[in-house]
Amino acid sequence: MTTSTDLEGGRLLTQLNRHVFMVMLHVSWPKMTYQIADAIVEIKTGDDKTEVEEKFRTHPQWQLMPEEWRKKLVNLEGRARTMLSAASINFATRGVSILPVTRASDVFRSLRALRREMHTYRDQFVKEYGDILRDLRVELGNELYDEAKKKLPSEESVRDKFSIVWAIMPTGGRGNVEEADIDAVEQAINHLIAEIPGPIPYTVDAAQAALQKMREGLGTTTVTDDEAEDLIREAREQMGKFTKDMLNDMAREPRQMLTDAADNLMEALRDPSRTIRNGTIEQVRRAFEMVEGFSFLASPQLLAQIRSCRERIDNVTPKMLNSDAEIGAKLAAGLQGVREEAADAQASTEAVRRFRGVKIRKRKKEAVPT
């Protein structure tokens, strides 16, 4: 049954939609932080060292980004997020901000300036990347560097790791915001807070502070019809690009995770000097689950290879693989088939093309017996 509270909340949210954009900000740069395969964590116990079991620790990681660059890029990312959050209210959904249309022109102008700054950093980093890799080789030594380099982006691809993009969901809204509008927004926010189950991701004080900033800006900023059209046009372009990039990532990244995991285990199986640990096997299992989680972007052939190989990998233990070369050879043969399918870039592209071409047909309503 619909209550008066439900109707009032719906009316306020409808009014809210006439005055705000919902914005998702995505900032990326090469963190150069990766899990170390087959890492051993030991602690000193008297004169000896004792290994800490995997279930009692987190996974050690490579930290390969030079500290000077890390500080610059963390600072830039922080400024971009602060720029948006200072003019908006964080919505319950992680990463979504409610941005008043009247503040949009200034915020997007500032974000575009920060994007240009990011591109300057990107160009500088790309020029220095070869020297950074050479310094890492010197500091790590050839053996460790060869292991770390498997995770690092190539000199050809590192440029693509830098971006500042925002996906904007335009909900209309033009002209000035009045005091009554802000009062309605405040009521809508309070209604949302009351309806959200569990912990609230922002405090009432923070929301009130943001609303106060909106009140202080009353009458000082307007968005003309032409500006509104430009913002909506940019919103559509950004959303289209963001969605396309996101879809490509969803098709590509699980496959890359599986390729890396399969390579790591196959290398261990081929090298008699390496001790295979449970973490190496679990890395493959997690990659299987990741691909299956995005099965709508995986080919039937890849999913079939995974099902076949899972039977083999679920029936082995590190002890069996370390003591019986024949068992290891059979597992490696199955992994090779999975690896070849996962590394098929054409299959990944075709999966995206197929998904984008899917059309949902409306089901015909069946006659109801009388």
Residue 162 above 70 pLDDT?
yes
Three-point CA angle 344, 345, 348, nearest 5° = 95
pLDDT in the model for residue 87: 84
pLDDT in the model for residue 204: 47
pLDDT in the model for residue 9: 39
pLDDT in the model for residue 132: 94
**Within 13 Å, how many C-alpha atoms sit on residue 189's CB side?**
26
DSSP state of 198: S
pLDDT in the model for residue 35: 76
pLDDT class for 213, splitting at 50, 70, 90?
low
Distance (Å, rounded) from C-alpha 59 to C-alpha 38?
10
pLDDT in the model for residue 225: 58
Query: Which tokens hold the place of 68?
Result: 């000077």
Cβ(333)–Cβ(265) below 8 Å:
no
Cβ(201)–Cβ(247) below 8 Å:
no
Indicate the range of 14-23, 93-102, 184-193, 287-296 predicted with least confidence. 184-193
pLDDT in the model for residue 98: 72
Cβ(107)–Cβ(84) below 8 Å:
yes
pLDDT class for 4, splitting at 50, 70, 90?
very low
Residue type, 272: P
The conformational region for residue 37 under phi > 0 = left, psi -120 to 50 = alpha, else beta, is beta
* Averaged pLDDT for residues 217-243: 58
More confident residue, 134 or 35: 134
Please state the φ and ψ torsions of residue 101, each to the nearest 5 degrees. Answer: -60, -35
Query: Which tokens hold the place of 305?
Result: 């290879």
Cβ(64)–Cβ(136) below 8 Å:
yes
Residue 169 above 80 pLDDT?
no
Query: Which tokens hold the place of 130?
Result: 């070869």
More confident residue, 88 or 93: 88
pLDDT in the model for residue 170: 45
* Domain definitions of the chain by residue range: 10-36+54-223, 240-356
